[in-house]
Amino acid sequence: MSDQVWWYATRAAGLMTWSTAVAAVIVGLLLSTRTVKARTGPWMLDLHRFLGGLSVLFLVAHVLTLSLDSYVDFGPREVFIPGESTWNAEAAAWGIIAMYTLILVEVSSLLRRHISQSVWRTMHWLSVMTAVAGTYHAVLGGTDVGNPMTWIVAGAGSAAVIGLVALRLRRAVGGSDGRASKASEQEALLREMRDRLNSLPVSDDSPAPEIVHDGAALPQRAPAGPEDMTVADPFAPNTRLSHSHAEPFGLGNPPTSAIDVATVPPPPPVPDAIDPITGEPDQAAYTAWLVEWLAYAEQYGEDTPDDPNRA
């Protein structure tokens, strides 16, 4: 009876190892192909990491229960060296390959901040090899391959992995053209910004403010913070300024009166948005900031104080 318990336990642990590993691969491919929405990306990333760690725990349980089972003699050599098993050597070898690739993927994930991006990407592609080797191991040596539910789950998982890998490879092949197109769009946007900034009406003979100093010490003032602003965010909805007819890119009427310099808000800050998957700056956030900054420059170009460093 005890031998049967260990045999059932190792079968259950093996099936759970395959299920969680394949699920982690599917979630990772969904993230890398950007088929999920941006707001659900962090949640999916946590799910991907959780499934990967859970698959390692089930793998440890599978190996331990297999060693405790007396029906098949599995020692350290049979467990860790491919081809040493006397029972279905091919199936055992593919299982050992799946075990090593799964461990390498998890170790690379834990060391991601300490290794280069290219090394991490290369090692992470081994997760596909884990799914393939684990599936072949289950088909050759699994006791539950005769169960129709096993084939349904295995077929659905394998089809999802194959489809997402094909989508990922197709996007990788066309990635160079896509990056070149994005670069040309960014360059065109920067050229347009430079032309618009050069066309801003900045007067060279603007009178400089006269400062009268009676010899007393000048007061010191701390830098203005958000609580010191006298007007609301100019880019927030329903914001009314003294020249509310002005619109971004000069599409509205020109301002008829100047705003007090003290009420001019600071320019929009540079975004610090990083893509959690690629680790690169978020191009969409950066492009939105460029458009916002250009609108700010055209709206307040005449109202900011003279600055000798301003073009």
pLDDT digits (tens, 9 = 90+) for 8-65: 898 899 999 999 999 999 999 988 887 776 667 788 889 999 999 999 999 999 999 9
Domain membership of residue 198 (yes or no) is no
Based on the fold, state whether residues 235 and 93 are members of the same structural domain.
no
- Of the chain, the percentage scoring pLDDT greater than 90 comes to 23
Cα–Cα dist 306/202, whole Å: 9
Res. 159: pLDDT tops 80: yes
192 vs 79, higher pLDDT = 79
Q: Which of 149, 174, 199 is the last residue of a domain?
A: 174
Based on the fold, state whether residues 45 and 144 are members of the same structural domain.
yes
Q: CB-based burial of residue 300 (10 Å sphere; 0-12 exposed, 13-18 middle, 19+ buried)? A: buried
Structure tokens at 118: 């290219």
Domain membership of residue 260 (yes or no) is yes
The per-residue pLDDT for 137 is 92
The per-residue pLDDT for 49 is 92
The per-residue pLDDT for 25 is 94
275 vs 231, higher pLDDT = 275
| Total tally of structural domains belonging to the chain | 2
Res. 67: pLDDT tops 60: yes
45 vs 256, higher pLDDT = 45
Domain membership of residue 208 (yes or no) is no
What number is the average pLDDT over the span 218-239?
48
Nearest to 121 by CA among 105, 102, 98: 105
Query: How far from 82 is each of 2, 119, 168, 174, CA to CA, in Å?
Result: 28, 26, 31, 38
What number is the average pLDDT over the span 229-249?
44
What number is the average pLDDT over the span 292-306?
66
Question: What residues are paired with 281 via a beta bridge?
Answer: 274
Based on the fold, state whether residues 170 and 234 are members of the same structural domain.
no
Q: Which of 140, 174, 208 is the last residue of a domain?
A: 174
The per-residue pLDDT for 35 is 74
Based on the fold, state whether residues 11 and 149 are members of the same structural domain.
yes
pLDDT 10s digits, 164-188: 988 888 877 765 555 566 667 777 7
Res. 87: pLDDT tops 70: yes
Based on the fold, state whether residues 136 and 245 are members of the same structural domain.
no
Based on the fold, state whether residues 24 and 123 are members of the same structural domain.
yes
Burial 78-87 (b: 16+ CB within 10 A, else e): bbeebebbee
Res. 235: pLDDT tops 60: no
The per-residue pLDDT for 242 is 41
What number is the average pLDDT over the span 187-206?
70
- Range name among 97-106, 124-133, 223-232 with the lowest pLDDT average: 223-232
Cα–Cα dist 175/294, whole Å: 29
Domain membership of residue 273 (yes or no) is yes
Domain residues for 298? 229-311
304 vs 59, higher pLDDT = 59
The confidence band for 286, taking pLDDT boundaries of 50, 70 and 90, is confident
Domain membership of residue 218 (yes or no) is no
Highest mean pLDDT among 146-150, 157-161, 253-257, 280-284: 157-161
Using CA atoms of 133, 135, 136, 139 in order, give the dihedral in degrees to the nearest 10.
160
Q: Which of 159, 174, 189 is the last residue of a domain?
A: 174
Based on the fold, state whether residues 9 and 146 are members of the same structural domain.
yes
Based on the fold, state whether residues 16 and 122 are members of the same structural domain.
yes
Domain membership of residue 188 (yes or no) is no
The per-residue pLDDT for 261 is 52
Domain membership of residue 182 (yes or no) is no
Based on the fold, state whether residues 170 and 233 are members of the same structural domain.
no
The per-residue pLDDT for 243 is 42
Domain membership of residue 201 (yes or no) is no
Res. 236: pLDDT tops 70: no
pLDDT 10s digits, 72-86: 778 888 888 888 888
The per-residue pLDDT for 74 is 83
Based on the fold, state whether residues 67 and 167 are members of the same structural domain.
yes
Based on the fold, state whether residues 164 and 285 are members of the same structural domain.
no
Based on the fold, state whether residues 61 and 139 are members of the same structural domain.
yes
